[in-house]
Structure 1
Amino acid sequence: MNNNNPIIEKIRKLLALANSSNEHEAALAAAHAQRLLSEHNLAMADIESEQKPQSADKVEALVSKTLPKWVRHLSAGICTAFDCQAIHHPAIGKMTFIGVGADVQIAAYTFAYLDKTVRRLCSSYMKNHVSSDLLNRHRELKRQSYYLGAVSTITGRLREQKAVTPTTPGALVPIKEGLIRKAMSDMGPTRTVRSRKSYIDSHAYNKGQQDGHNVGINKGIGSAGTAQKSIGG
């Protein structure tokens, strides 16, 4: 492929901007680059044909010290979709996304966008479909069931999207994985959280699944909106 292709040159410039110290500019540039890659059916190998990545990058986001199961599932699904890893630091209420190049910027940006969107949808569901007369524990069961249903659909759609347009070309997969493992190792030991069995309200879960189909997952990747750095508990 011709390295002077204007689309490739534009993507290279956007990827350079993705390393900007301006968080807003970096997130928008990374999102725009990913959208162009998808639209023109390009892989990172086409963009970086003469240069292999040398190290993994990190992006931090503020989260609650205790993550609900649905947030853990959401972050895991997004990391799988964008070939990244995420480490939660409960003592300080942060999550570190680890990936190579634009992948990590896009993963963190998509996580923030989807986190905000799912919370908004759940708030609407609780207001319009759940009686305020219910006991608090029953309302909370419906809330968490809705979240889990919505996230199950969204992460499934992300998997389907990745199957059609892989984030990383085959030759670079082991290179990226190695760099991410090294970055995680350099951060020290991590703790694995084991999920407990969840009790589900089937109506709320199913409604969450239905609403999850209407979430614009590409908006989190290609939107010109502001990146959200603070994520609630």
Structure 2
Amino acid sequence: MDERILSKIKKLLALAKSGNEHEAANALRLAQKLMQEHQLSEQEVKLSEVSQREIKRANAADKQPQWANLLTGCITNAFGLEAILSWKRDIGASLIFIGPVDRVEIGTYCYEVLAPQLVKARKTYLASLNKRLKLTTKTNRADLFAEGWISAVRRQVHALVPTEEEQNLIQLYKEKHFTRLEKTEVRLTQDKKRDVSAFLEGHGAGRNVRLNAGVNGAEQGKIGSKV
């Protein structure tokens, strides 16, 4: 698909929404003419607004821990995206964000900054636990710590609900590019009373992280630890 032609069609379609009836009609006529010449449907033009970005996952396990899913959900909710788990030889365990081009870029950036911070914080907390504890107990507490961390970060952003048109386009994009999707299992944490403090400690640590992203997805996200 010729990006130059596609860009011209998009600009004409935007002008077709002008309040000036003559200008709008002329822009729509020219856009339709270009689409006909290059055998492009209006749906194909709109689908060009949807893109994907593939990045390394925070956790490589086939059965994702609940905290890893919550981190992904934090990003998809904040920017109105969808995510797919994948595995490729050159990348390994990966995550694919799908949605409007600009928001995919920002969402990916946010994940790439947040994920290492969370993994490091969880690892540090895990190392601080009593060595006499069973490995399963330590892992569970570290997972709860991570969930608390994410909970604090999520409180800083408002969920961006994609429009019905965006949802439909993302679904069409997935049907076109991902024909063999399968459901994956999640490793749930055990919500035991004696482990509740781990979640609270994680929440306290997560409050030091700042996620300032434009609600409309048009601004660059600013993420980092509170100074």
TM-score after normalising by structure 2 = 0.63
Task: Using the TM superposition, give the Cα deviation of residue 123 of structure 1 relative to its aligned residue in structure 2, in angstroms.
Answer: 2.6
**1:190 matched residue in structure 2:** 181
Structure 1 gap ranges (5+): 1-47, 225-233
Q: How many residue pairs end up in the alignment?
A: 167
Q: Give the structure 2 partner of residue 62 of structure 1.
A: 56
User: In the TM superposition, what is the alpha-carbon distance from 1:127 to its structure 2 partner?
Assistant: 3.6
* Alignment pair present for 1:147 and 2:146: yes
Deviation per residue, 1:174-196 (Å, 9 max, x gap):
23222211111111142233546
Aligned positions of 1:80-95 closer than 5 A:
80-90=77-87, 93-95=93-95
Identical amino acids, percent of aligned pairs = 19
- Partner letter of residue 136 of structure 2? R
Following superposition, the deviation at residue 167 of structure 1 comes to 7.8
SS state of the match for residue 141, structure 1?
helix
Rg (Cα) greater in structure: 2
Code of the residue aligned with 2:196 in structure 1: it is S
Structure 1 residue runs of 4+, over 3 Å off? 48-54, 193-197
Distance 2:15 2:198 in 1: 50
User: TM-score scaled to structure 1, two decimals?
Assistant: 0.62
Q: Which has the higher strand share?
A: 2
- Which residue in 1 is equivalent to 2:7? none
Which amino acid in structure 1 is aligned with residue 117 of structure 2?
A: T
For the aligned residues, what is the CA RMSD? 2.8
Say whether the 8 Å CA contact 2:77–2:161 is kept in structure 1. Answer: no
Equivalent in the alignment of 2:125: 125
CA distance in structure 2 between the aligned counterparts of 1:175 and 1:145, rounded to whole angstroms: 37
> Deviations along 1:90-109, whole A, 9 cap, x unmatched?
57522111011210011111
The question of 1:222 aligning with 2:222 is answered yes
**Greater relative contact order: 1 or 2 (C-alpha under 8 angstroms, separation 6 or more)?**
1
Q: Distance in 1 between matches of 2:112 and 2:161?
A: 19
